[in-house]
């Protein structure tokens, strides 16, 4: 349609331009009329703005541009000319991709298009990925080859705002591929996370999406050491966006352990999960943060459970009560012996003072992990607990014996009175 308009306007412009004679050429160009200028401007705008279509594609579109066109199997083979001309392939001739078509009429069944002919690097990367299974096709992610747009175009299936939906077509737990390969429903987990909310609700293009963490073509299993989601690589992967937090993490004991090759040390996903990441200040995250730390630090979790901080949080549901990372920090976690540690003796007043205004040296003598079962660590608390337990056992034992004897005596008196009553009745 655009080419017809251009040809029509070109004809009108040619007719509208005054025909110069040899004499006029010597005198200089003739002054164009106002209508000629207007037509020339319109013509230039259409020529520059209209998408360029390869002449060969224009010929193919004379048939394939017809709505409702299908092949022998009933599949649609209609190509929208306007969409195709605006796509990244709009300037190519059809036979660049459909190489087995040599002329018209062409065979009813044409060979599958080999995207690797032009996209060799992407094809090579894909061949070594988890998607190299013979099922995943380029069109699964990029959409119809006749309507592929650049990744920075909002119409593209791989535009940042559209990537979760594109990946979710398979990774939603309900698709045929998800059921066949046992893929979990990570799409809904991601959309409910802080990253998904930032992307879908706030429209933040910088929010992490699937591609930001897993890559685009060379996607590897999280068990592969070369994968960005392999455990030792996760801090660097998350650090692409959270650079300051990565630096703090690497300075802490957990980061140093990971750098030393200790795979038991926690990384970002161990505490925040991989897809259903919550806002750290949200009540739901604060309430679950202590058990997360307790998965590794079981002894410390047990002693924390005995404290006022824990019992207040569990019994009253008080969200703001101190959790592990309120005292130990969240990422730059250091041993108490380190002068920079938040729980170093020199820093305790400041650490406790964030919640307890007026905290002093006497106040911080409180032991948040006092262990009444450890005689060496807490001898006073150990003997107090021992005394109280013995006292409790003694009192309960006494009352059990007392109750048992009282029951026996009551039963004896009952039987005795019963016999005496029967004797009086016979007398």
pLDDT, average across residues 261-269: 95
Overall average pLDDT of the 146-159 stretch: 95
Residue 262 token pair? 């200790």
Band of pLDDT at residue 14, cut at 50, 70 and 90: very low
Mean model confidence pLDDT for the chain: 85
Nearest residue to 98 via CA among 64, 66, 69: 64
The residue whose two tokens read 């331009």 is 17
Burial 396-418 (b: 16+ CB within 10 A, else e): eeeeeeeeeeeeeeeeeeeeeee
Side-chain-side CA neighbours of residue 231 (13 Å): 16
Q: What is the 3-state secondary structure (H, E, C) of the chain?
A: CHHHHHHHHHHHHHHHCCCCCHHHHHHCCCCCCHHHHHHHHHHHHHHHHCCCCCHHHHHHHHHHCCCCCECCCCCECCCCHHHHHHCCCCCCCHHHCCCCCCCCCCCCCCCCCCHHHCCHHHHHHHHCCCCCCCCCCHHHHHCCHHHCCCCCCCCCCCCCCCHHHHHHCCCCCCCHHHHHHCCCCHHHHHHCCHHHHHHHCCCCCCCCCHHHHHCCCCCCCCCCCCCCCCHHHHHHHHHCCCHHHHHHHHHCHHHHHHHCCCCCCCCHHHHHCCCCCCCCCCHHHHHHHHHHHHCCCHHHHHHHHCCHHHHHHHHHCCCCCCCHHHHHCCCCCCCCCCCCCCCCHHHHHHHHHCCCCCCCCCHHHCCCCCCCCCCCCCHHHHHHHHHHHHHHHHHHHHHHHHHHHHHHHHHHHHHHHHHHHHHHHHC
Burial of 14 (0-12, 13-18, 19+ CB in 10 A): exposed
CB burial readout 299-315, b (16+ within 10 A) else e? ebbebbebbebbeebee
The more confident residue out of 181 and 349 is: 349
Is the model's pLDDT at 333 over the cut of 90?
yes
Confidence grade of residue 29 (pLDDT, cut at 50, 70, 90)? very low
More confident residue, 32 or 406: 406
- Nearest partner of 323 among 279, 350, 291, 345, judged by Cα: 291
The answer to whether 91 touches 54, Cβ cutoff 8 Å, is yes
- State residue 24's pLDDT score: 37
Looking at per-residue pLDDT, the higher value among 369 and 193 belongs to: 193
pLDDT of residue 105: 85
Weakest-pLDDT range from 100-114, 207-221, 330-344: 100-114
Kindly state the average pLDDT of the residues 178-200.
91
Query: Picking from 49-53, 169-173, 211-215, 373-377, which range would have the lowest pLDDT averaged per residue?
Result: 49-53
Q: Would you place residue 4 in the very low, low, confident or very high pLDDT band (cuts 50, 70, 90)?
A: very low
Note the pLDDT of residue 22: 38
Residue 163 has pLDDT above 50, yes or no: yes
In tens, the pLDDT along 359-418 reads 999 999 888 888 888 888 888 888 998 999 999 999 999 999 999 999 999 998 888 888
Most confident stretch, 118-132, 316-330, 361-375: 118-132
Is residue 321 within 8 Å of residue 312, measured between CB atoms? Answer: yes
Average pLDDT over residues 219-230: 95
**Unique residue bearing structure tokens 């069944």:** 109
Position 248 pLDDT exceeds 80? yes
For residue 217, the model assigns a pLDDT of 93
pLDDT at 92 over 50: yes
Query: How many CA atoms does the CB half-sphere of 236 hold within 13 Å?
Result: 10
Residue 179 has which token pair?
Answer: 């059921």
The whole-angstrom separation of Cα 375 and Cα 400 is: 31
Burial class (CB in 10 A: 0-12, 13-18, 19+), 234: buried
CB 113 within 8 A of CB 97: yes
Cis? peptide before 105, omega within 30° of 0: yes
Residue 32 confidence (pLDDT): 57
- Compute the distance between CA of residue 106 and CA of residue 59 in angstroms, rounded to an integer: 13
Distance between CA atoms of residues 277 and 290, nearest Å: 16
> Alpha-carbon distance 124 to 119, whole Å?
9
Does residue 23 have a pLDDT over 50? no
Residues above pLDDT 70, as percent of the chain: 85
- Whether residue 270 is predicted with pLDDT greater than 50 in this model: the reply is yes
What is the percent of the chain with per-residue pLDDT over 90, rounded to a whole number? Answer: 54
**pLDDT tens for residues 35-54?**
655 655 554 444 444 455 67
Q: What is the pLDDT of residue 16?
A: 34
Name the residue with tokens 């990441």. 277
Query: Which burial class, exposed, middle or buried, applies to 185 when counting CB atoms under 10 A from its CB (0-12, 13-18, 19+)?
Result: middle
**Residue, of 16 and 32, whose pLDDT is higher:** 32
């Amino acid at each position: 349609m655009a080419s017809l308009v251009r040809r029509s306007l070109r004809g009108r412009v040619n007719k509208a331009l005054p025909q110069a004679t040899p004499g006029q050429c010597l005198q200089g160009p003739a002054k164009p009329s106002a209508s000629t200028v207007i037509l020339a401007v319109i013509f230039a705008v259409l020529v520059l703005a209209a998408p360029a279509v390869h002449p060969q594609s224009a010929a193919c579109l004379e048939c394939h541009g017809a709505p409702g066109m299908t092949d022998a199997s009933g599949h649609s083979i209609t190509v929208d000319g306007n969409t195709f001309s605006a796509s990244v392939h709009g300037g190519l001739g059809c036979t660049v991709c459909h190489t087995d078509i040599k002329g018209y009429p062409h065979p009813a069944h044409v060979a599958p298009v080999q995207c690797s002919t032009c996209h060799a690097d992407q094809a090579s990367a894909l061949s070594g990925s988890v998607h190299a299974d013979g099922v995943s096709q380029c069109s699964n992610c990029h959409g119809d080859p006749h309507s592929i747009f650049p990744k920075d175009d909002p119409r593209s299936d791989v535009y940042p705002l559209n990537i979760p939906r594109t990946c979710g077509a398979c990774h939603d737990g309900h698709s045929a591929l998800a059921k066949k390969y046992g893929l979990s429903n990570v799409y809904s987990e991601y959309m409910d996370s802080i990253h998904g909310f930032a992307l879908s609700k706030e429209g933040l293009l910088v929010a992490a999406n699937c591609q930001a963490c897993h890559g685009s073509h060379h996607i590897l299993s999280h068990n592969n050491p070369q994968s960005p989601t392999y455990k030792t690589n996760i801090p660097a992967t998350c650090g692409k966006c959270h650079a300051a937090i990565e630096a703090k993490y690497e300075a802490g004991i957990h980061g140093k352990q990971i750098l030393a090759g200790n795979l038991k040390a926690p990384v970002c996903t161990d505490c925040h999960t991989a897809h259903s990441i919550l806002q750290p200040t949200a009540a739901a995250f604060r309430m679950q943060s202590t058990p997360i730390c307790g998965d590794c630090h079981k002894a410390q979790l047990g002693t924390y459970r005995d404290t006022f901080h824990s019992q207040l949080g569990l019994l009253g549901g008080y969200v703001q009560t101190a959790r592990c990372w309120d005292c130990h920090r969240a990422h730059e976690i250091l041993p108490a012996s380190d002068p920079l540690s938040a729980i170093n003796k020199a820093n305790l007043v400041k650490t406790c003072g964030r919640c307890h205004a007026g905290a002093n040296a006497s106040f911080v003598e409180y032991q948040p992990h006092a262990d009444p079962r450890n005689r060496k660590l807490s001898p006073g608390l150990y003997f107090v607990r021992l005394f109280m337990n013995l006292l409790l056992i003694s009192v309960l034992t006494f009352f059990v014996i007392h109750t048992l004897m009282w029951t026996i005596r009551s039963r004896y008196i009952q039987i005795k009175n019963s016999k005496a009553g029967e004797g009086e009745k016979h007398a």
